[in-house]
């Protein structure tokens, strides 16, 4: 996988005396979803406190900072920017005080009609503190005259289009909500009577919480000291459009995403790939870490031995000093290193989850050949990425996606492999099974489930009518 990133991870917990530390641990488990900034907002029942900084979770928080975050109700956020610059003012949770009290919000996803809403709000006198799309939600809440926070939030969410899985904290309530398409994941857990929300179940596992279920597409859950209530805030729900790349690449393999085991799905993708495009070889090797389960499946399907011949350096930070020209392809080499004695003289099948620009794949193939590989066959456990994503993935523009303008043979020539094959879209849908129609495949097919208009930032400028809030029976 080269240069494709998800944007955020969110966490929330209600009614736990150790809320700050548990939120820290939850964010630590979700660190793979965002490495630019981390933050926690917490309530003691009468006042909100928050702390956020740029950097990894364990760099931002320490015992002294956590000891100052008093309260039993908390939300947290880790960020990778897809909208808004990588700077402190865009870090989350985004906390404000307004006419109805204090509020903090943590958001995962991408609002595709953000620019139109922001332009309208600025024309009406709103003053923005950041450049991220999440802030429009806060302004819409503040402009609503609804009698409760969740009704004001419902008003705001019914103006939005695109992807949002979010948690909202006030002095005395925690709200979780997921967009009507259900693009990004959001799960519910329980820990000794405390309600927990997280982007992935791996965060629940770390703190010992029990997975209950997913937040449904178009569902809003409100937790107070009087209990938990579930609402359906939108009439737009027709069919879910869950991001298939959560299973292919983004989520941790030990998570349940959309109710399914990520590891099992990735291994099944590898088996399907082996059934479609095997070739005679001496070994199957993965591009770690996301390619490992698919390579296991490919090996099981074909009977070709599995080897870990590429070793990943897990201690590469956000920034490091790079040589100017002394070491070519440094960005890849600092993360992955081949074991030459395993590779030399062998015919190798290398398994990766996707090819974006092709530059990383090209470097990997060259590294294997320089280590003595006799043949290098590349197999990809997803279809070609032909289109950009507008729902919370940091994909390049379509012109930068190598599959959008090159044939498989041309890509094979570019990366220097002896052969190249991708998983077919039909095989991908077959692995997902009976839920296949509930996933978004727009990056492969160009069939976008949520319409948009391209602007200079490739985002939607369409405004929609307000919806209504309904209590779920």
Report, as residue numbers or ranges, the catalytic residues. Answer: 8
Nearest to 309 by CA among 361, 350, 366, 249: 350
Q: 214: Cβ–Cβ under 8 A, 6 or more apart, which residues?
A: 185, 186, 187, 188, 258, 259
Q: 73: Cβ–Cβ under 8 A, 6 or more apart, which residues?
A: 13, 14, 15, 19, 42, 43, 45, 169, 172, 174
Is the sign of the CA dihedral 435, 437, 440, 442 positive or negative?
positive
Secondary structure letter of residue 437 according to DSSP:
G
Contacts of residues 320-323 at CB distance under 8 Å and 24 or more positions apart, as own/partner, are none
- How many CB atoms lie under 10 A from the CB of residue 125? 6
Helix (H) or strand (E) holding 238: none
**Tokens 């070994």 label which residue?**
283
Strand extents, DSSP E, 287-429: 310-312, 336-338, 347-352, 375-380, 393-394, 419-422
User: In whole angstroms, how far apart are CA 456 and each of 52, 111, 398?
Assistant: 30, 15, 14
Whether residue 133 contacts residue 84, with contact meaning beta carbons closer than 8 Å, is answered with: yes
As a whole number of angstroms, the distance between CA 464 and CA 470 comes to 18
- Give the dihedral of Cα atoms 298, 304, 305, 306; nearest 10 deg: -20
Whether residue 41 contacts residue 14, with contact meaning beta carbons closer than 8 Å, is answered with: no
Residue 19 falls in which region: left (phi positive, over 0), alpha (psi -120 to 50) or beta:
alpha
């Amino acid at each position: 996988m080269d240069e494709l990133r998800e944007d955020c991870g969110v966490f929330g917990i209600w009614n736990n005396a150790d809320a700050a530390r548990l939120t820290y641990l939850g964010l630590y488990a979700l660190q793979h979803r965002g490495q630019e900034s981390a933050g926690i907002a917490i309530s003691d029942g009468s006042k909100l406190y928050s702390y956020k900084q740029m950097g990894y979770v364990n760099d931002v928080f320490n015992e002294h900072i956590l000891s100052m975050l008093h309260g039993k109700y908390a939300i947290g956020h880790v960020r990778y920017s897809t909208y808004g610059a990588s700077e402190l003012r865009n870090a989350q949770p985004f906390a404000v005080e307004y006419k109805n009290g204090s509020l903090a919000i943590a958001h995962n996803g991408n609002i595709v009609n953000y620019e139109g809403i922001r332009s309208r709000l600025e024309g009406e006198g709103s003053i923005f503190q950041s450049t991220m799309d999440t802030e429009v939600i806060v302004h819409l809440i503040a402009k609503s005259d609804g009698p409760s926070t969740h009704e004001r939030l419902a008003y705001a969410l019914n103006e939005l289009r695109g992807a949002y899985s979010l948690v909202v904290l006030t002095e005395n309530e925690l709200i979780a909500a997921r967009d009507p398409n259900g693009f990004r994941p959001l799960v519910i857990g329980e820990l000794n009577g405390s309600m927990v929300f997280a982007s992935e179940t791996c965060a629940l596992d770390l703190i010992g919480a029990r997975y209950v279920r997913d937040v449904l597409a178009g569902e809003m859950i409100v937790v107070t000291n009087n209990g938990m209530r579930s609402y359906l805030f939108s009439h737009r729900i027709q069919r879910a459009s869950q991001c298939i790349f959560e299973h292919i690449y983004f989520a941790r393999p030990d998570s349940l995403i959309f109710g399914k085991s990520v590891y099992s799905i990735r291994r099944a993708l590898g088996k399907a790939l082996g059934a479609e495009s095997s070739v005679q070889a001496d070994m199957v090797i993965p591009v770690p870490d996301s390619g490992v389960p698919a390579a296991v499946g490919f090996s099981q399907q074909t009977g070709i031995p599995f080897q870990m011949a590429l070793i990943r350096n897990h201690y590469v930070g956000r920034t490091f000093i790079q040589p100017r020209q002394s070491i070519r392809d440094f960005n890849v080499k600092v993360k992955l290193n081949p074991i030459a004695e395993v590779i030399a003289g062998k015919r190798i099948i290398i398994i990766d989850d996707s090819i974006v620009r092709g530059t990383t794949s090209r470097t990997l193939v060259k590294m294997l050949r320089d280590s003595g590989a006799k043949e290098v066959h590349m197999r990809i456990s997803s279809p070609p990425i032909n289109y950009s994503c507008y729902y919370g993935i940091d994909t390049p523009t379509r012109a930068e996606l190598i599959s959008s303008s090159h044939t498989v043979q041309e890509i094979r020539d570019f990366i220097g492999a002896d052969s190249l094959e991708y998983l077919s879209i039909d095989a991908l849908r077959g692995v997902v099974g009976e839920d296949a129609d509930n996933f978004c495949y727009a990056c492969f097919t160009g069939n976008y489930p949520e319409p948009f208009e391209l602007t200079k930032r490739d985002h939607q400028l369409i405004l929609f009518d307000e919806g209504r809030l309904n209590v779920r029976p």
